[in-house]
Amino acid sequence: MANHHIKNGEMLLYSSVISLTPPYSFERLLRRLETHPDPQLLVNVQESTLRRVFRVGARPILVSLQFAGTMEQPFIRLHTEVTLSASEQQLLEKTIRHVFSADLDLNPIYEHMRQQQPMVILTERFRGLRLMLDSDLFQSMVKTIIGQQINLAFAAALTQRLMELAGDVMVDETGHKFMAFPTEEAVARLEPTDLRPLQFSQRKAEYIIDYARAIVNGTVDLDRLWQMEDDEIIEHLTAQRGIGRWTVECLMMFGMGRPDLLPAADIGLRNGLQMVYELAEKPDEKEIRRIGEDWRPWRSVYSLYIWEAVGAVRRKETWE
């Protein structure tokens, strides 16, 4: 495990301002992060700040982000205390724009949502909410494989154990440790016997390591996925052992930010739909797909807003 210490008082070497497409609700984003703990992040809701490690290429960089401006004129102040080349600066900003869905225009989606009566209140209550995406497609797929058929808390624990085993740790000036997700090369060097003591099942361990090796040996080309249609991506990735359609759909939604995916088997979506649409019973997959036809071509965003309704109730926000 590599440790990178950042010296106190070191000159600020790179800062930038990243503009965002309005409306953008930092409050909603930070509230969601509070209920979705991630060992890679340090969030301060009061100060609207977030610190985390981003990989620029394979290099882990600790970045501080300050969410600023207003919902209608939003921007992020970025700074890091390491020297970055021009190409590294460009890559870091591109990654951050991706992670925070900076270029998603919610206005046409809201116009569409207002035609679905039950969704109208959500466009008002959660105005400016958008998905925070995974920073790279390797991490996104591994986290999804880890999360298959186990609860969120156990999935988060396994993810943290993998990071502690094969990732990088950075320590800031206050002594706080930040974990960087392991690279595909680091995971490809592991054996299932390395993961079994961490409570990974034999199959889960094999699937994760096989996936990392497929990327390293060129069988899976993550960069090429961005040029593919959804169906092509599904066909390309489900050829790998342990990766099914649901897994790839999660990758496209949370890793790639594809706008029109419907995770119809998701229990949170079932609960949320029953509440928002005031259904007598929880809808099954078939019923969710039927309702979701009216959500095209933005089913991913509709799903996020349904999930947020469930989260708002869990956080005991007032619900009219």
pLDDT classification of 320: cutoffs 50, 70, 90? low
CB 188 within 8 A of CB 72: no
CB 39 within 8 A of CB 179: yes
More confident residue, 48 or 4: 48
- Average model confidence (pLDDT) for the chain? 91
Residue 82, pLDDT score: 87
Pairing type for strands 41-44 and 49-56 reads antiparallel
* Distance in angstroms (rounded) separating the CA atoms of residues 27 and 79: 21
Enumerate the domain spans of the chain: 2-103, 137-255
pLDDT score of 148 more than 90: no
Edge-first strand listing for the sheet containing 41-44: 14-19, 74-80, 59-69, 49-56, 41-44
* Chain segment 247-263, per-residue pLDDT in tens: 999 999 999 999 999 98
Confidence check: pLDDT of 267 > 60:
yes
| CATH for the stretch 2-103 | 3.30.310.20
Of the listed ranges 6-10, 59-63, 118-122, 123-127, the one predicted with least confidence: 6-10
DSSP string, the chain: -EEEE--TT----EEEEEE-PSP--HHHHHHHHHHS--TTEEEETTTTEEEEEEEETTEEEEEEEEEEE-SSSEEEEEEESS---HHHHHHHHHHHHHHTTTT---HHHHHHHTTSGGGHHHHHHTTT--PPPPSSHHHHHHHHHHHTTS-HHHHHHHHHHHHHHHSEEEE-TT--EEEEPPPHHHHHT--HHHHGGGT--HHHHHHHHHHHHHHHTTSS-HHHHTTS-HHHHHHHHTTSTT--HHHHHHIIIIIS--S----TT-HHHHHHHHHHTT-SS---HHHHHHHHGGGTT-HHHHHHHHHHHHHHHHTT----
Sign of CA dihedral 251, 285, 294, 20: negative
Q: Is the pLDDT of residue 279 over 70?
A: yes
Average pLDDT over residues 71-92: 93
Q: In the predicted model, is pLDDT for residue 182 greater than 50?
A: yes
C-alpha–C-alpha distance, residues 192 and 172, integer Å: 32
pLDDT at 12 over 90: no
Q: What is the pTM of this model?
A: 0.90
Active site residues: 266
> How is domain 137-255 classified at the CATH fold level?
Endonuclease III; domain 1 (1.10.340)
pLDDT value of position 287 = 95
pLDDT at residue 10 above 70? no
Among 27-31, 35-39, 115-119, the range with the most confident prediction by mean pLDDT is: 115-119
